[in-house]
Chain A
Amino acid sequence: MSPTNRTVVVTGIGATTPLGGDAASTWEGLIAGKSGVKPLEQDWAAEQAVRIAAQIAVEPTEVIPRPQARKLDRSAQFALIAAQEAWKDAGFEAKAGDDVSVDPDRLGAVIASGIGGVTTLLDQYDVLKEKGVRRVSPHTVPMLMPNSPSANVGLLVGARAGVHTPVSACASGAEAIGYAIEMIRTGRADVVVAGGTEAAIHPLPIAAFGNMMAMSKNNDDPQGASRPYDTGRDGFVLGEGAGVVVLESAEHAAERGARVYAEAVGQGISADAHDIVQPEPEGRGIAHALRNLLDRTDLDPAEIVHVNAHATSTPAGDVAELKALRHVFGDDTDHMAVSATKSMTGHLLGGAGGVETVATVLALYHRVAPPTINVENLDPEAEANADIVRGEARKLPVEGRIAALNDSFGFGGHNVVLAFRTV
């Protein structure tokens, strides 16, 4: 294999989500069909039209010592917790260099966020207005900058091959992982810690998304509010948290005897060039991304048995994605178990691609597809185009090589499809 087309594998996973404080408890929640959505009980929530969110299961300050936590935006706290778990899970004992099995010059970090340190920015603006200039925290800039999660994860593991932060709204986490795959495939790095994080549960983003009519206002039924593919879906439920994976060249993983969860086959990327927020209704941009994936990798549609869909529970977006799958894969779509895990985790925006990559990789590893919950009346357009895993988890083929896709799309018309495969 040429040095610029190396095989990439996943050797570590980590997450902190509305379903659990680590990847194992998150996976358990997903397979059990558990909803992480809760009412917002903060004082500011009373006047909001949207009073529900998928809030983190384990507060990061229970994990990160206070002196360190107070210098980190919540989005960076999530990223560090997930990255630390993924790093240890990959079998690394210490930061690169101290752990001699990874060379810091060959280690990268790519962690994305859709909005970055928005709560820090807004909280410090409150401090400025209420208490004056002198009281604004000197940590504000390194806390709010969108590259703060990636930079802090880079410091945690000692990454010197490059630390990056792609930003593409709700596709950011997936774009980060795609970028990391390319870093390894093309020889820039041997190991990359990659994923997405988001912490945007704050009155301003909630008011703003609410006024866009993008979010569910089903305040009376928090756990039933995120209902992708159901005819009664009325918008997404905001979630928070992070999902991170350790990607590694297959050769490097083999040399150190690492456990391999799955092969990271590659990515397909496109842009809609349609509208700043509305998805292209026929899924043409998404189809273009899927075709790019097939053109640029050796992925065979016959081996794809599972799709972790972007499906956020919005009327237009959910169906456009399924039309694209049908358009590109034709009858092969029939053997793809499509799951919308946002029905349980809510929509983690830039964190979604990270958490859903963890879910996709574990679905392959355990050969089981998590369910889509809350589908009481399946949208006929969804039913016509794809096989939705409803209600309960579903076993995937127990033998042979199987592959799965993780789709992520973002405001701005960004489409990112990642493909993984059993080894």
Chain B
Amino acid sequence: MAATQEEIVAGLAEIVNEIAGIPVEDVQLDKSFTDDLDVDSLSMVEVVVAAEERFDVKIPDDDVKDLKTVGDATNYILKNQD
């Protein structure tokens, strides 16, 4: 079953917490991974791989650069999940 927006944000929050140590409550739709959440470019790859597994979605490397905020990633997953 496809995940809801709320479930995706909660899932991304757990992933970002694991990788960057940011409190889950700080991971919100308008937050930038790089500027607000301390996720550098290499760590972003880890976030993407973890999200792919969790939400059963493929995020090609070329699309990763467009995922600047948590909202961008959430919308991408909503649209592309199986």
Partner-B contacts on A (CB < 8 A): 65-67, 70-71, 134-135, 137-139, 142
Number of A-B contacts (CB under 8 A): 21
Shortest beta-carbon distance, B53 to chain A, in Å?
A: 8
- Does B14 touch A at the CB level, under 8 Å? no
Shortest beta-carbon distance, A134 to chain B, in Å?
A: 6
Q: A135 contacts B42, CB within 8 Å?
A: no
Q: A67 contacts B21, CB within 8 Å?
A: yes
Separation of A93 and B10 alpha carbons in the complex (Å): 39
CB < 8 Å: which of B20, B38, B42 contacts A139? B42
Q: A65 contacts B46, CB within 8 Å?
A: no
5 tightest A-B CB contacts, nearest first: A67-B21, A138-B45, A138-B42, A67-B20, A139-B42
- Does B19 touch A at the CB level, under 8 Å? yes
Separation of A66 and B38 alpha carbons in the complex (Å): 13
Contacts of A142 in B (CB 8 A): 42
Partner-A contacts on B (CB < 8 A): 19-21, 38, 42-43, 45-46, 49, 52
Q: B49 contacts A66, CB within 8 Å?
A: no
Contacts of B43 in A (CB 8 A): 71, 138-139
Contacts of A139 in B (CB 8 A): 42-43, 46
Separation of A408 and B12 alpha carbons in the complex (Å): 49
Separation of A138 and B43 alpha carbons in the complex (Å): 7
Closest to A67 in B: B21
Contacts of B20 in A (CB 8 A): 67
Shortest beta-carbon distance, A66 to chain B, in Å?
A: 6
Contacts of B52 in A (CB 8 A): 134
Q: B21 contacts A66, CB within 8 Å?
A: yes
Contacts of B19 in A (CB 8 A): 67, 70
CB < 8 Å: which of B38, B42, B45, B49 contacts A67? B38
Separation of A142 and B20 alpha carbons in the complex (Å): 17
Q: A135 contacts B21, CB within 8 Å?
A: no
Separation of A139 and B47 alpha carbons in the complex (Å): 12
Shortest beta-carbon distance, B80 to chain A, in Å?
A: 16
Shortest beta-carbon distance, A259 to chain B, in Å?
A: 35
Closest to B50 in A: A135
Closest to B58 in A: A134
Shortest beta-carbon distance, A140 to chain B, in Å?
A: 9
Shortest beta-carbon distance, B16 to chain A, in Å?
A: 10
Q: B21 contacts A134, CB within 8 Å?
A: no
Separation of A70 and B46 alpha carbons in the complex (Å): 12
Q: B21 contacts A65, CB within 8 Å?
A: yes
Separation of A212 and B52 alpha carbons in the complex (Å): 44
Q: A138 contacts B21, CB within 8 Å?
A: no
Q: A137 contacts B46, CB within 8 Å?
A: yes
